[in-house]
A and B are shown apart, each in its own frame.
Chain A
Amino acid sequence: MGNVGAKDVPVLLSPEGLRIDGRKVDELRPMKIQVGALHNADGSAFVEWGANKVYAAVYGPREVHPRHLQQNNKAVIQCKYNMAAFSVDERKRPGLDRRSQEISKVIAEAFESVVFAEEYPRTSIDIYIEVVQANAGTRCAGLVAASMALADAGIPMVDLLPAVAVGKVAGKIVLDLKKEEDNFGEADLPMALVPQSGRLVLLQMEGHMTEEELSQALDLGVQGCREIYEKMKQALRDRYALGPIGGSA
Protein backbone atom coordinates (compact mmCIF):
# COMPACT_ATOMS: atom_id res chain seq x y z
CA MET A 1 0.00 0.00 0.00
CA GLY A 2 2.91 2.30 0.64
CA ASN A 3 1.91 5.71 1.91
CA VAL A 4 -1.68 5.76 3.00
CA GLY A 5 -2.90 9.29 3.60
CA ALA A 6 -6.37 10.31 4.72
CA LYS A 7 -7.12 11.30 1.14
CA ASP A 8 -6.65 7.70 -0.04
CA VAL A 9 -9.46 6.33 2.09
CA PRO A 10 -11.94 4.84 -0.37
CA VAL A 11 -15.68 5.38 -0.12
CA LEU A 12 -16.67 2.26 1.78
CA LEU A 13 -20.40 2.76 1.77
CA SER A 14 -22.32 4.45 -1.03
CA PRO A 15 -25.30 6.72 -0.33
CA GLU A 16 -27.49 3.87 -1.59
CA GLY A 17 -26.08 1.66 1.17
CA LEU A 18 -23.92 -0.46 -1.15
CA ARG A 19 -20.37 -1.43 -0.30
CA ILE A 20 -17.12 -0.91 -2.17
CA ASP A 21 -17.69 -4.03 -4.28
CA GLY A 22 -21.42 -3.44 -4.68
CA ARG A 23 -22.55 -5.85 -1.97
CA LYS A 24 -25.35 -5.17 0.48
CA VAL A 25 -24.40 -4.90 4.16
CA ASP A 26 -25.54 -8.47 4.91
CA GLU A 27 -24.20 -10.08 1.74
CA LEU A 28 -21.36 -12.61 1.60
CA ARG A 29 -18.64 -12.65 -1.01
CA PRO A 30 -19.00 -15.48 -3.56
CA MET A 31 -17.64 -18.77 -2.25
CA LYS A 32 -16.44 -21.94 -3.96
CA ILE A 33 -15.48 -25.06 -2.03
CA GLN A 34 -13.69 -28.09 -3.45
CA VAL A 35 -13.36 -31.14 -1.20
CA GLY A 36 -10.47 -33.57 -1.72
CA ALA A 37 -8.22 -31.11 -3.53
CA LEU A 38 -4.93 -32.70 -2.42
CA HIS A 39 -3.89 -36.28 -3.05
CA ASN A 40 -1.58 -37.28 -0.24
CA ALA A 41 -3.56 -35.89 2.68
CA ASP A 42 -6.10 -38.00 4.59
CA GLY A 43 -8.56 -35.18 3.96
CA SER A 44 -8.32 -31.87 2.14
CA ALA A 45 -10.21 -28.90 0.74
CA PHE A 46 -9.67 -25.78 -1.34
CA VAL A 47 -11.77 -22.71 -0.62
CA GLU A 48 -12.10 -19.64 -2.81
CA TRP A 49 -13.93 -16.94 -0.94
CA GLY A 50 -13.98 -13.57 -2.65
CA ALA A 51 -10.33 -13.02 -3.51
CA ASN A 52 -9.12 -15.41 -0.80
CA LYS A 53 -7.66 -18.72 -1.86
CA VAL A 54 -6.94 -21.22 0.89
CA TYR A 55 -5.90 -24.89 0.98
CA ALA A 56 -6.39 -27.10 4.01
CA ALA A 57 -4.93 -30.56 4.55
CA VAL A 58 -5.63 -32.95 7.41
CA TYR A 59 -3.38 -35.85 8.36
CA GLY A 60 -4.31 -38.34 11.01
CA PRO A 61 -5.10 -39.62 13.48
CA ARG A 62 -1.44 -40.59 13.30
CA GLU A 63 1.65 -40.98 15.50
CA VAL A 64 2.44 -37.83 17.49
CA HIS A 65 5.55 -35.85 16.62
CA PRO A 66 7.21 -34.66 18.79
CA ARG A 67 6.45 -37.61 21.06
CA HIS A 68 6.25 -35.60 24.31
CA LEU A 69 3.04 -33.90 23.14
CA GLN A 70 1.26 -37.26 23.17
CA GLN A 71 -1.78 -37.51 25.47
CA ASN A 72 -2.83 -40.82 26.94
CA ASN A 73 -6.55 -40.15 26.90
CA LYS A 74 -7.13 -38.32 23.64
CA ALA A 75 -5.74 -37.16 20.33
CA VAL A 76 -3.85 -33.89 20.23
CA ILE A 77 -5.01 -31.44 17.59
CA GLN A 78 -2.21 -29.49 15.98
CA CYS A 79 -2.77 -26.70 13.51
CA LYS A 80 -0.40 -24.75 11.34
CA TYR A 81 -1.72 -21.68 9.56
CA ASN A 82 0.64 -20.19 7.03
CA MET A 83 0.46 -17.39 4.51
CA ALA A 84 2.47 -17.75 1.34
CA ALA A 85 5.00 -15.00 0.68
CA PHE A 86 3.10 -14.13 -2.52
CA SER A 87 -0.36 -14.12 -0.92
CA VAL A 88 -0.41 -10.36 -0.33
CA ASP A 89 0.44 -7.27 -2.43
CA GLU A 90 3.70 -6.52 -0.67
CA ARG A 91 5.81 -9.69 -0.33
CA LYS A 92 5.35 -11.18 3.14
CA ARG A 93 8.42 -12.44 4.96
CA PRO A 94 7.88 -16.21 4.85
CA GLY A 95 7.53 -18.42 7.90
CA LEU A 96 6.14 -18.21 11.39
CA ASP A 97 5.27 -14.82 12.83
CA ARG A 98 3.23 -13.75 15.83
CA ARG A 99 0.09 -13.38 13.78
CA SER A 100 0.22 -16.84 12.22
CA GLN A 101 1.06 -18.45 15.57
CA GLU A 102 -1.96 -16.82 17.14
CA ILE A 103 -4.26 -17.88 14.33
CA SER A 104 -2.92 -21.44 14.44
CA LYS A 105 -3.64 -21.53 18.16
CA VAL A 106 -7.20 -20.21 18.03
CA ILE A 107 -8.11 -22.48 15.11
CA ALA A 108 -6.70 -25.55 16.88
CA GLU A 109 -8.69 -24.62 19.99
CA ALA A 110 -11.87 -24.13 17.97
CA PHE A 111 -11.53 -27.65 16.60
CA GLU A 112 -10.65 -29.09 20.00
CA SER A 113 -14.16 -28.20 21.11
CA VAL A 114 -15.89 -30.05 18.27
CA VAL A 115 -13.67 -33.05 17.47
CA PHE A 116 -14.25 -36.27 19.46
CA ALA A 117 -10.56 -36.56 20.25
CA GLU A 118 -11.08 -39.18 22.98
CA GLU A 119 -11.69 -41.78 20.28
CA TYR A 120 -8.05 -41.78 19.24
CA PRO A 121 -5.81 -41.73 22.32
CA ARG A 122 -2.03 -41.20 21.88
CA THR A 123 -2.43 -39.89 18.36
CA SER A 124 -2.25 -36.56 16.60
CA ILE A 125 -4.65 -34.91 14.17
CA ASP A 126 -2.64 -32.42 12.14
CA ILE A 127 -4.27 -29.57 10.26
CA TYR A 128 -2.32 -27.52 7.74
CA ILE A 129 -3.81 -24.32 6.35
CA GLU A 130 -2.02 -22.61 3.48
CA VAL A 131 -3.22 -19.21 2.34
CA VAL A 132 -2.13 -18.69 -1.26
CA GLN A 133 -4.07 -15.48 -1.81
CA ALA A 134 -5.29 -13.18 0.95
CA ASN A 135 -8.01 -10.55 0.95
CA ALA A 136 -9.20 -10.26 4.58
CA GLY A 137 -10.97 -13.02 6.44
CA THR A 138 -8.34 -15.68 5.83
CA ARG A 139 -8.67 -17.17 9.29
CA CYS A 140 -12.36 -17.75 8.59
CA ALA A 141 -11.63 -19.15 5.14
CA GLY A 142 -8.96 -21.35 6.75
CA LEU A 143 -11.42 -22.60 9.35
CA VAL A 144 -14.02 -23.44 6.71
CA ALA A 145 -11.42 -25.25 4.58
CA ALA A 146 -10.01 -27.12 7.58
CA SER A 147 -13.49 -28.14 8.66
CA MET A 148 -14.21 -29.60 5.22
CA ALA A 149 -10.83 -31.36 5.26
CA LEU A 150 -11.60 -32.91 8.67
CA ALA A 151 -14.94 -34.23 7.39
CA ASP A 152 -13.15 -35.54 4.28
CA ALA A 153 -10.63 -37.27 6.56
CA GLY A 154 -13.44 -39.09 8.38
CA ILE A 155 -12.69 -37.44 11.72
CA PRO A 156 -15.66 -37.71 14.12
CA MET A 157 -16.90 -34.33 15.28
CA VAL A 158 -19.95 -32.56 16.67
CA ASP A 159 -20.52 -30.51 13.53
CA LEU A 160 -18.89 -28.66 10.67
CA LEU A 161 -17.53 -25.27 11.63
CA PRO A 162 -18.66 -22.37 9.46
CA ALA A 163 -16.89 -19.08 10.15
CA VAL A 164 -17.22 -15.48 9.03
CA ALA A 165 -16.06 -12.02 10.02
CA VAL A 166 -18.43 -9.15 10.76
CA GLY A 167 -17.15 -5.60 10.90
CA LYS A 168 -18.01 -1.99 11.34
CA VAL A 169 -17.53 0.04 8.18
CA ALA A 170 -18.48 3.71 7.79
CA GLY A 171 -20.53 3.42 10.96
CA LYS A 172 -22.50 0.42 9.75
CA ILE A 173 -22.32 -3.23 10.82
CA VAL A 174 -21.50 -5.29 7.72
CA LEU A 175 -21.00 -8.98 6.97
CA ASP A 176 -17.81 -10.55 5.56
CA LEU A 177 -15.24 -7.74 5.26
CA LYS A 178 -13.00 -7.52 2.22
CA LYS A 179 -9.53 -6.05 2.30
CA GLU A 180 -10.35 -2.34 1.94
CA GLU A 181 -13.11 -2.62 4.55
CA ASP A 182 -10.74 -4.41 6.92
CA ASN A 183 -7.97 -1.85 6.41
CA PHE A 184 -10.07 1.30 6.62
CA GLY A 185 -13.05 0.10 8.70
CA GLU A 186 -13.58 0.68 12.39
CA ALA A 187 -13.86 -2.92 13.64
CA ASP A 188 -13.35 -6.57 12.64
CA LEU A 189 -15.06 -9.44 14.47
CA PRO A 190 -14.28 -12.96 13.22
CA MET A 191 -16.32 -15.83 14.62
CA ALA A 192 -16.91 -19.57 14.17
CA LEU A 193 -20.22 -21.25 14.94
CA VAL A 194 -21.28 -24.78 15.88
CA PRO A 195 -24.62 -24.85 14.05
CA GLN A 196 -25.88 -27.90 15.91
CA SER A 197 -25.70 -26.18 19.31
CA GLY A 198 -25.55 -22.51 18.36
CA ARG A 199 -22.32 -22.08 20.30
CA LEU A 200 -19.46 -19.88 19.16
CA VAL A 201 -16.06 -21.57 19.38
CA LEU A 202 -14.01 -18.69 18.02
CA LEU A 203 -14.60 -15.03 18.66
CA GLN A 204 -12.03 -12.28 18.31
CA MET A 205 -12.30 -8.56 17.87
CA GLU A 206 -10.15 -5.73 16.65
CA GLY A 207 -11.30 -2.10 16.83
CA HIS A 208 -14.25 -0.60 18.66
CA MET A 209 -17.99 -1.22 18.82
CA THR A 210 -20.72 -0.22 21.21
CA GLU A 211 -22.49 -2.92 23.17
CA GLU A 212 -25.52 -2.53 20.93
CA GLU A 213 -23.42 -2.82 17.78
CA LEU A 214 -21.71 -5.91 19.16
CA SER A 215 -24.97 -7.73 19.72
CA GLN A 216 -26.15 -6.69 16.26
CA ALA A 217 -22.84 -7.92 14.82
CA LEU A 218 -23.13 -11.29 16.56
CA ASP A 219 -26.62 -11.80 15.16
CA LEU A 220 -25.44 -10.92 11.66
CA GLY A 221 -22.41 -13.21 12.00
CA VAL A 222 -24.48 -16.19 13.14
CA GLN A 223 -26.81 -15.62 10.19
CA GLY A 224 -23.81 -15.50 7.84
CA CYS A 225 -22.37 -18.68 9.36
CA ARG A 226 -25.63 -20.52 8.75
CA GLU A 227 -25.55 -19.43 5.11
CA ILE A 228 -21.96 -20.69 4.78
CA TYR A 229 -22.92 -23.92 6.55
CA GLU A 230 -25.33 -24.73 3.71
CA LYS A 231 -22.59 -24.21 1.11
CA MET A 232 -20.26 -26.46 3.10
CA LYS A 233 -22.81 -29.26 3.28
CA GLN A 234 -23.51 -28.97 -0.43
CA ALA A 235 -19.79 -29.24 -1.25
CA LEU A 236 -19.52 -32.47 0.76
CA ARG A 237 -22.66 -33.90 -0.86
CA ASP A 238 -21.22 -33.15 -4.30
CA ARG A 239 -17.97 -34.88 -3.42
CA TYR A 240 -19.61 -37.97 -1.94
CA ALA A 241 -22.43 -38.28 -4.47
CA LEU A 242 -24.18 -41.64 -4.51
CA GLY A 243 -25.86 -41.55 -7.93
CA PRO A 244 -24.76 -43.37 -11.08
CA ILE A 245 -21.32 -42.70 -12.56
CA GLY A 246 -21.40 -39.66 -14.79
CA GLY A 247 -24.77 -38.55 -13.41
CA SER A 248 -25.46 -36.02 -10.71
CA ALA A 249 -26.13 -36.85 -7.08
Chain B
Amino acid sequence: MSRGHRPGHRTRGHEGSPSPPPGDRTLVLPGEEIRAQGLKPGPGTYRTGGKVYASVLGLLSPRPPMVQVIPLSGRYIPKPDDVVLGTVTDVQGTFWLLDIGAPRWAPLHMTGTPWQVEIGETDRFLRVGDAVVVQVESLEATGRIGVTMNGEGLGKLEGGTIVRISPARVPRVVGRNGSMIDTIRRHTGAEVVVGQNGRIWVGGTPDAIHRVSEVLRIVEENGQRSGLTERVESYLLATMPTDPKGPEEPAPEHAHRDAPPRTLPPSEPDEVTVEAEDDPPESTETGEP
Protein backbone atom coordinates (compact mmCIF):
# COMPACT_ATOMS: atom_id res chain seq x y z
CA MET B 1 0.00 0.00 0.00
CA SER B 2 0.96 3.55 0.50
CA ARG B 3 4.12 3.11 2.54
CA GLY B 4 6.12 2.93 -0.65
CA HIS B 5 4.72 6.19 -1.96
CA ARG B 6 6.43 9.03 -0.26
CA PRO B 7 4.52 12.28 -0.26
CA GLY B 8 7.16 14.43 -1.95
CA HIS B 9 9.20 16.68 0.25
CA ARG B 10 6.96 18.72 2.46
CA THR B 11 6.24 22.42 2.20
CA ARG B 12 9.75 23.68 1.85
CA GLY B 13 8.26 26.97 0.81
CA HIS B 14 5.22 28.02 -1.04
CA GLU B 15 6.21 31.56 -1.87
CA GLY B 16 4.96 33.16 -5.03
CA SER B 17 1.75 31.16 -4.94
CA PRO B 18 -1.30 32.71 -6.51
CA SER B 19 -3.99 33.28 -3.92
CA PRO B 20 -6.99 31.08 -4.48
CA PRO B 21 -10.15 33.12 -4.96
CA PRO B 22 -12.15 33.85 -1.80
CA GLY B 23 -14.71 31.27 -0.86
CA ASP B 24 -12.74 28.68 -2.74
CA ARG B 25 -10.72 27.49 0.22
CA THR B 26 -11.08 23.81 0.94
CA LEU B 27 -10.05 22.14 4.17
CA VAL B 28 -8.74 18.64 3.67
CA LEU B 29 -7.91 16.02 6.30
CA PRO B 30 -5.31 13.24 6.27
CA GLY B 31 -6.59 10.34 4.18
CA GLU B 32 -9.07 12.46 2.25
CA GLU B 33 -9.13 11.81 -1.48
CA ILE B 34 -8.23 14.80 -3.63
CA ARG B 35 -9.93 15.13 -6.97
CA ALA B 36 -6.91 16.15 -8.96
CA GLN B 37 -7.40 15.22 -12.58
CA GLY B 38 -3.97 15.01 -14.16
CA LEU B 39 -2.23 16.88 -11.35
CA LYS B 40 0.93 15.53 -9.76
CA PRO B 41 0.91 14.91 -6.01
CA GLY B 42 2.91 17.69 -4.33
CA PRO B 43 3.85 18.39 -0.70
CA GLY B 44 1.21 17.33 1.82
CA THR B 45 -0.21 14.65 -0.46
CA TYR B 46 0.51 11.07 -1.49
CA ARG B 47 -0.58 8.79 -4.30
CA THR B 48 -1.62 5.19 -4.08
CA GLY B 49 -3.71 3.00 -6.36
CA GLY B 50 -3.88 5.77 -8.95
CA LYS B 51 -5.59 8.17 -6.53
CA VAL B 52 -4.22 11.19 -4.69
CA TYR B 53 -4.87 11.71 -0.98
CA ALA B 54 -4.01 14.42 1.53
CA SER B 55 -1.40 13.43 4.12
CA VAL B 56 -1.76 16.47 6.36
CA LEU B 57 -4.57 18.64 7.65
CA GLY B 58 -4.58 21.83 5.62
CA LEU B 59 -5.83 23.93 2.75
CA LEU B 60 -6.03 22.40 -0.70
CA SER B 61 -3.94 24.31 -3.19
CA PRO B 62 -4.13 23.13 -6.80
CA ARG B 63 -1.30 24.72 -8.74
CA PRO B 64 -0.89 22.99 -12.08
CA PRO B 65 0.89 20.77 -12.81
CA MET B 66 0.83 19.98 -9.10
CA VAL B 67 -1.64 19.79 -6.26
CA GLN B 68 -0.49 20.35 -2.70
CA VAL B 69 -1.87 20.78 0.79
CA ILE B 70 -0.71 23.76 2.84
CA PRO B 71 -0.61 22.64 6.48
CA LEU B 72 -2.67 24.62 9.00
CA SER B 73 -0.85 23.26 12.01
CA GLY B 74 2.37 21.66 13.07
CA ARG B 75 5.87 22.52 14.05
CA TYR B 76 8.00 25.07 12.29
CA ILE B 77 9.63 23.69 9.13
CA PRO B 78 12.70 25.84 8.42
CA LYS B 79 13.18 27.67 5.12
CA PRO B 80 16.39 29.37 4.06
CA ASP B 81 16.52 33.11 4.93
CA ASP B 82 13.72 32.87 7.50
CA VAL B 83 14.24 35.12 10.51
CA VAL B 84 13.44 33.12 13.65
CA LEU B 85 13.54 33.51 17.41
CA GLY B 86 15.34 30.86 19.39
CA THR B 87 16.43 30.00 22.90
CA VAL B 88 19.82 28.58 23.81
CA THR B 89 19.52 24.94 24.94
CA ASP B 90 23.19 23.95 25.06
CA VAL B 91 26.58 25.65 25.06
CA GLN B 92 29.60 23.94 23.48
CA GLY B 93 33.19 25.13 22.95
CA THR B 94 32.66 26.61 19.50
CA PHE B 95 28.90 26.79 19.09
CA TRP B 96 25.52 27.03 20.79
CA LEU B 97 22.50 24.83 20.18
CA LEU B 98 19.26 26.73 19.68
CA ASP B 99 15.69 25.59 20.05
CA ILE B 100 13.87 27.36 17.22
CA GLY B 101 10.76 25.17 17.40
CA ALA B 102 11.92 23.09 14.43
CA PRO B 103 12.24 19.29 14.39
CA ARG B 104 15.93 19.60 15.26
CA TRP B 105 18.04 21.94 17.37
CA ALA B 106 19.98 24.44 15.28
CA PRO B 107 23.72 24.97 15.87
CA LEU B 108 24.86 28.60 15.90
CA HIS B 109 28.61 28.64 15.30
CA MET B 110 30.69 31.30 17.05
CA THR B 111 31.79 32.62 13.65
CA GLY B 112 28.12 33.24 12.84
CA THR B 113 27.94 36.02 15.42
CA PRO B 114 28.98 39.66 15.29
CA TRP B 115 31.19 39.03 18.34
CA GLN B 116 34.89 38.19 18.70
CA VAL B 117 34.44 34.81 20.41
CA GLU B 118 37.43 32.77 21.61
CA ILE B 119 37.16 28.98 21.63
CA GLY B 120 35.84 27.92 25.02
CA GLU B 121 34.55 31.40 25.77
CA THR B 122 31.13 30.88 24.21
CA ASP B 123 29.36 31.01 27.56
CA ARG B 124 30.55 34.58 28.10
CA PHE B 125 28.23 35.65 25.28
CA LEU B 126 25.18 33.37 25.41
CA ARG B 127 24.01 31.03 28.13
CA VAL B 128 21.32 28.39 28.33
CA GLY B 129 17.92 30.09 28.32
CA ASP B 130 19.02 33.25 26.51
CA ALA B 131 16.79 34.38 23.64
CA VAL B 132 18.17 35.37 20.24
CA VAL B 133 17.03 36.44 16.79
CA VAL B 134 18.81 34.49 14.05
CA GLN B 135 18.40 33.74 10.37
CA VAL B 136 18.26 30.31 8.74
CA GLU B 137 21.31 30.00 6.52
CA SER B 138 21.48 26.42 5.37
CA LEU B 139 19.47 23.21 5.42
CA GLU B 140 21.26 19.94 4.99
CA ALA B 141 19.86 16.62 3.83
CA THR B 142 20.54 15.21 7.29
CA GLY B 143 18.07 17.69 8.74
CA ARG B 144 20.79 19.88 10.22
CA ILE B 145 19.76 23.53 10.33
CA GLY B 146 22.51 26.14 10.05
CA VAL B 147 21.73 29.59 11.47
CA THR B 148 23.58 32.89 11.62
CA MET B 149 23.39 35.97 13.77
CA ASN B 150 25.16 38.20 11.24
CA GLY B 151 22.65 40.51 9.63
CA GLU B 152 20.30 43.41 10.07
CA GLY B 153 17.96 43.00 13.02
CA LEU B 154 19.66 39.86 14.32
CA GLY B 155 21.18 39.50 17.77
CA LYS B 156 20.51 38.74 21.39
CA LEU B 157 17.17 39.74 22.90
CA GLU B 158 17.03 41.68 26.15
CA GLY B 159 13.92 42.47 28.17
CA GLY B 160 10.43 42.21 26.77
CA THR B 161 8.35 39.07 26.42
CA ILE B 162 8.24 36.22 23.93
CA VAL B 163 4.81 34.98 22.88
CA ARG B 164 4.47 31.67 21.05
CA ILE B 165 1.86 31.02 18.38
CA SER B 166 1.48 28.35 15.73
CA PRO B 167 3.93 28.94 12.84
CA ALA B 168 0.98 28.47 10.46
CA ARG B 169 -0.57 31.64 11.94
CA VAL B 170 2.47 33.85 11.29
CA PRO B 171 1.24 35.16 7.90
CA ARG B 172 -1.98 36.26 9.61
CA VAL B 173 -0.08 38.11 12.33
CA VAL B 174 1.93 39.94 9.69
CA GLY B 175 -1.03 40.55 7.39
CA ARG B 176 -1.04 41.56 3.77
CA ASN B 177 2.08 43.64 3.20
CA GLY B 178 2.46 43.88 6.96
CA SER B 179 -0.96 45.48 7.47
CA MET B 180 -1.84 43.52 10.60
CA ILE B 181 1.49 44.01 12.31
CA ASP B 182 1.44 47.74 11.45
CA THR B 183 -2.02 48.02 13.00
CA ILE B 184 -0.79 46.33 16.16
CA ARG B 185 2.29 48.55 16.45
CA ARG B 186 0.32 51.72 15.75
CA HIS B 187 -2.36 51.04 18.33
CA THR B 188 -0.13 49.81 21.13
CA GLY B 189 3.17 51.59 20.67
CA ALA B 190 4.88 48.28 21.35
CA GLU B 191 7.95 46.99 19.56
CA VAL B 192 7.26 43.67 17.91
CA VAL B 193 9.69 41.23 16.28
CA VAL B 194 7.97 38.39 14.44
CA GLY B 195 9.91 35.19 13.89
CA GLN B 196 8.75 32.93 11.07
CA ASN B 197 8.78 30.10 13.60
CA GLY B 198 5.80 31.56 15.47
CA ARG B 199 7.79 33.12 18.30
CA ILE B 200 7.13 36.80 18.70
CA TRP B 201 9.12 39.21 20.83
CA VAL B 202 7.17 42.11 22.31
CA GLY B 203 8.79 45.06 24.05
CA GLY B 204 7.34 48.21 25.58
CA THR B 205 5.21 49.15 28.55
CA PRO B 206 3.57 46.34 30.52
CA ASP B 207 0.20 47.52 29.21
CA ALA B 208 1.37 47.45 25.60
CA ILE B 209 2.87 43.99 26.02
CA HIS B 210 -0.37 42.76 27.55
CA ARG B 211 -2.48 44.11 24.71
CA VAL B 212 -0.21 42.69 22.02
CA SER B 213 -0.26 39.29 23.75
CA GLU B 214 -4.03 39.44 23.81
CA VAL B 215 -4.16 40.26 20.08
CA LEU B 216 -1.84 37.36 19.33
CA ARG B 217 -4.12 35.08 21.33
CA ILE B 218 -7.10 36.25 19.24
CA VAL B 219 -5.19 35.51 16.03
CA GLU B 220 -4.14 32.10 17.32
CA GLU B 221 -7.65 31.13 18.37
CA ASN B 222 -9.37 32.21 15.20
CA GLY B 223 -7.13 30.23 12.92
CA GLN B 224 -8.10 30.65 9.32
CA ARG B 225 -11.45 32.29 9.91
CA SER B 226 -12.25 35.52 8.09
CA GLY B 227 -12.97 38.89 9.69
CA LEU B 228 -9.81 38.82 11.76
CA THR B 229 -8.65 42.36 11.03
CA GLU B 230 -11.98 43.81 12.21
CA ARG B 231 -11.88 41.66 15.34
CA VAL B 232 -8.35 42.79 16.20
CA GLU B 233 -9.07 46.45 15.50
CA SER B 234 -12.18 46.43 17.67
CA TYR B 235 -10.19 44.88 20.50
CA LEU B 236 -7.42 47.45 20.16
CA LEU B 237 -9.85 50.38 20.06
CA ALA B 238 -11.79 49.06 23.03
CA THR B 239 -8.64 48.78 25.14
CA MET B 240 -7.10 52.09 24.09
CA PRO B 241 -5.53 53.78 27.15
CA THR B 242 -7.55 56.83 28.18
CA ASP B 243 -4.34 58.79 28.64
CA PRO B 244 -4.66 61.85 26.34
CA LYS B 245 -0.98 61.59 25.47
CA GLY B 246 -1.88 58.52 23.44
CA PRO B 247 0.21 55.37 23.30
CA GLU B 248 3.24 55.64 25.49
CA GLU B 249 6.74 55.40 24.18
CA PRO B 250 8.23 51.96 24.52
CA ALA B 251 10.73 51.78 27.33
CA PRO B 252 12.22 48.29 27.20
CA GLU B 253 14.39 47.46 30.11
CA HIS B 254 17.95 46.43 29.43
CA ALA B 255 19.62 43.88 31.62
CA HIS B 256 23.16 43.68 30.35
CA ARG B 257 25.48 40.89 31.27
CA ASP B 258 29.12 40.60 30.37
CA ALA B 259 29.85 41.73 26.85
CA PRO B 260 26.73 41.35 24.76
CA PRO B 261 27.71 43.90 22.15
CA ARG B 262 24.42 43.93 20.24
CA THR B 263 21.00 44.07 21.72
CA LEU B 264 17.49 44.39 20.41
CA PRO B 265 15.02 45.96 19.88
CA PRO B 266 16.53 46.66 16.49
CA SER B 267 16.19 50.08 14.99
CA GLU B 268 14.11 48.73 12.12
CA PRO B 269 12.08 45.77 13.26
CA ASP B 270 10.19 45.87 9.96
CA GLU B 271 13.16 44.20 8.34
CA VAL B 272 12.37 41.12 10.30
CA THR B 273 8.93 40.53 8.93
CA VAL B 274 9.67 40.29 5.24
CA GLU B 275 8.25 37.77 2.80
CA ALA B 276 5.25 36.67 4.73
CA GLU B 277 2.83 38.34 2.33
CA ASP B 278 3.01 35.63 -0.25
CA ASP B 279 2.02 32.75 1.92
CA PRO B 280 -1.25 31.29 0.68
CA PRO B 281 -3.07 31.11 4.03
CA GLU B 282 -2.71 34.85 4.01
CA SER B 283 -5.18 34.99 1.13
CA THR B 284 -7.89 34.66 3.74
CA GLU B 285 -7.82 38.42 4.10
CA THR B 286 -9.38 38.76 0.67
CA GLY B 287 -12.28 36.61 1.67
CA GLU B 288 -13.58 38.99 4.23
CA PRO B 289 -17.06 40.38 4.02
Contact = CB atoms under 8 A, between A and B. Distances in A.
A184 interface: no
Interface in B234-285: 284
A156 B57 CA distance: 8
Given A158-B31, A158-B55, A244 B289 contact: yes
A113 interface: yes
A122 B142 contact: yes
A159 interface: yes
Main secondary structure of the interface of B (DSSP, over half): loop
Interface string A95-115: 000000000000000000100
Contacts of A243: 225-226
A42 B77 CA distance: 13
Given A61-B103, A160-B31, A155 B6 contact: no
Contacts of A156: 7, 10, 30, 44, 46, 55-56
Contacts of B46: 116, 156, 158
Contacts of A42: 74-75
Contacts of A151: 29-30, 56-57, 73
Contacts of B143: 120-123
A119 B8 CA distance: 9
Interface in A198-246: 199, 233, 236-237, 240-246
B105 interface: yes
Interface in B90-131: 103-105
Contacts of A240: 27, 57, 72-73, 223-224
A173 interface: no
A190 interface: no
A196 interface: yes
Contacts of B289: 244
A168 B256 CA distance: 70
Q: Is the interface of A mostly helix, strand, loop or mixed?
A: loop
Give the residue among A113, A196, A197 with the most B Cβ atoms within 10 A. A196
Nearest to A43: B73
Interface string B54-83: 011110000000000001111100000000
A62 interface: yes
Interface residues of B, number: 44
A44 to B, nearest CB: 11
A84 interface: no
Interface string A128-165: 00000000000000000000000111111111100000
Most buried by A among B73, B105, B228: B73
A242 B27 contact: yes
A123 B226 CA distance: 35
A43 B71 CA distance: 13
A157 B74 CA distance: 13
A116 B6 contact: yes
B60 to A, nearest CB: 11
A26 interface: no
Contacts of B37: none
Contacts of A119: 6-7, 9-10
Contact of B57 (A113, A152, A199): A152
A118 interface: yes
B105 A63 contact: yes
Nearest to A156: B55
From A156, A196, A243, residue with most partner B Cβ within 10 Å: A156
Contacts of A154: 56-58, 71-75, 168
Given A151-B30, A154-B74, A197-B2, A245 B57 contact: no
Contacts of B225: 241-245, 247
B75 A158 contact: no
Given A122-B142, A241-B225, A158 B10 contact: no
Top 9 A-B residue pairs of the complex, sorted by shortest distance between their CB atoms: A154-B74, A159-B31, A61-B103, A156-B55, A154-B73, A245-B227, A196-B31, A123-B103, A154-B71
27 contacts: A43-B74, A61-B75, A61-B103, A62-B75, A62-B103, A116-B6, A116-B46, A123-B104, A154-B74, A157-B30, A158-B31, A158-B55, A195-B31, A196-B31, A196-B53, A197-B1, A197-B48, A236-B29, A242-B25, A242-B225, A243-B226, A244-B227, A244-B289, A245-B226, A245-B227, A246-B227, A247-B225
Given A61-B103, A122-B142, A242-B27, 5 more contacts: A118-B6, A123-B104, A233-B29, A236-B29, A245-B231
Interface of B: 1-3, 6-7, 9-10, 25, 27, 29-33, 44, 46, 48, 53, 55-58, 71-75, 103-105, 142-143, 168, 222-228, 231, 284, 288-289
